Structure 1
């Protein structure tokens, strides 16, 4: 069996491009200025993109972790005899929660 060439991996290239954009975004200011002439400044200058990404990643981790813990705890609860009466309610709440698009949350 042949091993895949790591350089041919799209995951590697996406990761390299992401890191390059993460640290090189300020150098793209002239491109953004040309693309969006009415926006001043064309690049967010109050914080580094790396710091903004870290804040975003931390927020996503906390929110995802909380949703996972609550969801698993409720799933365990409603599958036990003590929580059987709440199964329909929790199922309805889960269905309502799934109607929101991820970008709206």
Structure 2
């Protein structure tokens, strides 16, 4: 029973989250004590479901681009002809961690305008580092015996990369993606300060009107999404690890 408890709790969290997004007014009695008598307990300036889907879409697009760029960079610097670019690549992927998200947004807005674009840039920069470092670690720590066997079988460099190196590296790469997505889910809320459609709208509306219920709605939805996606990617990582027989 104890082994199943986390799964049951995650399933319950998912059900509650979906129920709240589909019918938020059902939960109004729970949130009503948190607001003044005449104040709305449920966010009423837009659809929570639409904001959640837009939030996830923004994070997904930024993370997908970060995955492609980070993995390609890691592959480049682990090849003999690209090893000299490792310091430069590390500097590039660390840009997002050097500046706070608000500073990245402030620098991006004059270049691309308000809306989703500056948020995508910020999420992309913040998502690079975990994926790049995990991919780099995985590709540089592959079992020597496996690599020698691949060379001995007559595989070309490209074949070894696609059929041996990347498949064996997948669990560690997925771990990096998991961290990147979690960072992105939280950081995306700040995008609402530059007119991006994210769950940050709900939190900002709550702060402006001193409505604790709004703040909790935005924060808890983001938190629930982070937990569910983090656990989902952790399950994928464990499945890949078992399938590949990695200790």
Is the pair's TM-score, using the shorter chain for normalization, greater than 0.5?
yes
Instruction: Rate the CA distance shift 1:5–1:93 in 2: closer, same or farther, 3 A.
Output: closer
CA distance in 2, matches of 1:88, 1:47: 46
Residues 54-73 of structure 1: pairs in structure 2 closer than 5 A: 54-73=53-72
44-53 vs 69-78, which moves further: 44-53
Residue in 1 aligned with 2:46?
47
Residues 1:97 and 2:96 are matched in the alignment: yes
Please say if residues 77 and 85 of structure 2, whose CA atoms lie closer than 8 Å, have aligned partners that are also in contact: yes
Residues 1-105 of structure 1: pairs in structure 2 closer than 5 A: 9-29=8-28, 31-37=30-36, 40-98=39-97, 102=183, 103-104=186-187
Q: How many residues align?
A: 102
Please say if residues 33 and 39 of structure 1, whose CA atoms lie closer than 8 Å, have aligned partners that are also in contact: no
Instruction: Rate the CA distance shift 1:39–1:78 in 2: closer, same or farther, 3 A.
Output: farther
Instruction: Rate the CA distance shift 1:16–1:62 in 2: closer, same or farther, 3 A.
Output: same
Please say if residues 20 and 26 of structure 2, whose CA atoms lie closer than 8 Å, have aligned partners that are also in contact: no
Note the C-alpha offset of 1:31.
4.7
TM-score by length of 2: 0.34
CA distance in 2, matches of 1:12, 1:29: 22
Note the C-alpha offset of 1:9.
1.9
Give the structure with the larger helix fraction. Answer: 2
Gapped runs of 5+ residues in structure 2?
101-125, 127-182, 189-247
Q: Quick one: higher RCO (CA 8 Å, sep 6+), 1 or 2?
A: 2
TM-score by length of 1: 0.69
Note the C-alpha offset of 1:5.
6.7
CA distance in 2, matches of 1:68, 1:83: 19
CA distance in 2, matches of 1:73, 1:40: 51
Instruction: Rate the CA distance shift 1:67–1:39 in 2: closer, same or farther, 3 A.
Output: farther
65-74 vs 19-28, which moves further: 19-28
CA distance in 2, matches of 1:86, 1:5: 47
